[in-house]
Amino acid sequence: MTTATFGESIDMRITTRYLDSSWTREVRSLLYHTYRDDSVFQSLLEADRAGYDQRIRACTRELAAYYFSENMPVIGVLEGDRLIGVAFVSRSEDISTIVGRLLWKWKMVLTIGYKCTVNYLEYLRKLQEVLPEEHAYLLPLIGVHPRFRRSGHCRTLLKAVHDLSDLDQNGKGTSLCLSNEALQAFFGGFGYQQIGQVDHNGVKQLVLFRARTS
């Protein structure tokens, strides 16, 4: 996918653009900082066991590599040349594809271990049961670097995502997963409503959906 700028915020230093695989290193670093303290990832990757930091790095690396290899849209928010926010955009039905990829599963086993891979695959299956069955977008990975939060950059990122998803005349809308329930009201301001939840060992994650606007 060609990297192309498609929007600017009021702050001219902030831009949104599609990212290609040349941004892999920056994306992996941002995802690590985004999901390291996520309660669901901590449960899936067994944060109470030694080696968690290595496992979360490996997990986000393999997830990013997979989505880039599938040429799925990846939207970034940049401050100058620095990547500060990212969103991977897929379709709900793509979950069944990743679950069935033997090479990707093998890489996960080699890097995060068999048990954690089983945990993650089971999480994906549970998520698939909640999501709209077809013609809906999913943000499987989305985040703003912790140092740049509470500065409006998440709003910029979501606007870019919605500009993309709302162009699809056949699309029903966009889903995302939320581990921090305190942010539900924030996403509600964009039209997201809870359609279900996924849990792992008692750790709950909300599944939110925003209907497409014409």
Domain ranges of the chain: 4-211
End-to-end Cα distance, the chain: 26
- Report the run of H or E that residue 138 belongs to, with start and end: strand 137-144
Task: Tell the CATH topology of 4-211.
Answer: Aminopeptidase (3.40.630)
In three-state secondary structure terms, 192 is coil
Query: Can you give the pLDDT at residue 47?
Result: 97
**34 vs 58, 85, 133, 138, 167, CA distance in Å?**
14, 9, 28, 18, 28
Query: Can you give the pLDDT at residue 38?
Result: 95
pLDDT tens string 137-151: 999 999 999 888 877
Instruction: Name every residue whose Cβ is closer than 8 Å to that of residue 194 and which is 6 or more positions away in sequence.
Output: 184, 206, 207, 208, 209
Query: Can you give the pLDDT at residue 11?
Result: 58
Per the prediction, the chain carries an average pLDDT of 90
Query: Can you give the pLDDT at residue 1?
Result: 34
Residue 95: which of 134, 119, 124, 135 has the closest Cα? Answer: 124
Question: At 2, is the pLDDT very low, low, confident or very high (cuts 50, 70, 90)?
Answer: very low
pLDDT tens string 68-110: 999 999 999 999 999 999 999 998 888 888 988 999 999 999 9
Query: Can you give the pLDDT at residue 3?
Result: 37
In three-state secondary structure terms, 211 is strand
Query: Can you give the pLDDT at residue 124?
Result: 94
pLDDT tens string 151-174: 789 999 999 999 999 988 888 999
Give dist(CA 143, CA 214) in Å, integer: 26
* pTM of the predicted model as reported, rounded to 2 decimal places: 0.89
